[in-house]
């Protein structure tokens, strides 16, 4: 059987790299410092995915066996990796806006692999419910033939829409860092909601681990957006009709 997850993750990384380079070149920011930042993102993302999975087992020998599919851990690790790489290289310019469209497209492609290999989601009676192979790991619904939410396809649609929106907004936002902030806030809110359709185990009060992780970040992102709104950072995105 082909390793579909790894194939689509690789294609996602490749597509993200192409978008990053094109965007960096367009902004005149394609240099050794930005490439060092990319290296930091890749290394930090790989470590973050592994550590996030290891925290579920708390077994050091399983460090490199689990976590390769933890997206939130990967994103957090990539963010920290970029900060460390920039600190080491002495680069002070913001790079988040270069990453935002690239990450959205890369995630959209990578999630196709998740849809093909992982438990789709919770059981549903909606007409677009999907059935997965009984051999799918950790999927009781697959064994009973239940229709389930195509939760990963929901994310594919979101990420493609985000990519299109970011490509539209990138020439309109002039304040550095705001494109990345909008993407991060949008994805965090979406991920919190889509978790209600995912097959992840609930921990407390009906919320999953990723949702509890996001409860700390969402208020901070909301405050950050409110500050940007008050300062007029997002005014170029608002279409106003001028009465004559």
Q: How far apart are CA 139 and CA 145, in angstroms?
A: 10
- Is 27's pLDDT higher than 50? yes
Q: pLDDT per residue over 183-237, tens digit each?
A: 989 999 999 999 999 888 888 888 888 888 888 889 989 999 999 999 999 999 9
Residue given tokens 């990420």 in the structure block:
159
Which is more confident, 148 or 66? 148
pLDDT at position 150 is 93
Q: pLDDT per residue over 148-174, tens digit each?
A: 899 999 999 999 999 999 999 998 998
| Residue range 22-40: mean pLDDT, rounded | 81
pLDDT at position 49 is 66
DSSP letters of 114-168? HHHHS---SB--STT-B---TTSTT-HHHHHT--B--HHHHHHHHHHHHHHHHHH
Burial of 146 (0-12, 13-18, 19+ CB in 10 A): middle
DSSP letters of 60-119? GGGTTTS-TT-HHHHHHHHHHHHHHHHHHHT--S--HHHHHHHHHHHHHHHHHHHHHHS-
- Is 243's pLDDT higher than 80? no
pLDDT at position 228 is 92
Instruction: State the pLDDT confidence band at 238, using cuts at 50, 70 and 90.
Output: confident
Residue given tokens 């990963």 in the structure block:
152
């Amino acid at each position: 059987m082909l390793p579909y997850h790894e194939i689509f993750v690789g294609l996602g990384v490749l597509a993200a790299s192409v978008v990053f380079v094109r965007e960096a070149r367009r902004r005149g920011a394609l240099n050794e410092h930005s490439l060092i930042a990319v290296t930091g993102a890749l290394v930090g993302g790989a470590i973050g995915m592994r550590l996030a999975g290891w925290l579920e087992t708390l077994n050091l020998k399983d460090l490199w066996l689990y976590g390769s599919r933890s997206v939130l851990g990967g994103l957090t690790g990539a963010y920290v990796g970029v900060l460390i790489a920039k600190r080491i290289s002495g680069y002070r310019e913001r790079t988040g806006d270069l990453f935002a469209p690239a990450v959205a497209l890369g995630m959209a492609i990578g999630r196709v692999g998740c849809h093909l290999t992982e438990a789709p989601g919770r059981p549903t009676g909606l007409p677009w419910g999907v059935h997965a192979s009984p051999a799918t790991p950790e999927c009781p619904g697959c064994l009973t033939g239940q229709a389930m939410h195509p939760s990963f396809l929901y994310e594919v649609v979101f990420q493609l829409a985000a990519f299109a929106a970011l490509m539209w907004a990138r020439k309109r936002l002039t304040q550095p860092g705001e494109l990345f902030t909008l993407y991060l806030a949008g994805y965090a809110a979406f991920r919190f909601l889509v978790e209600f359709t995912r097959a992840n185990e609930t921990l407390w009060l009906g919320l999953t681990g990723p949702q509890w992780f996001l409860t700390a970040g969402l208020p901070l992102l909301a405050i950050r957006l409110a500050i940007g709104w008050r300062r007029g950072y997002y005014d170029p995105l608002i279409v106003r009709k001028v009465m004559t």
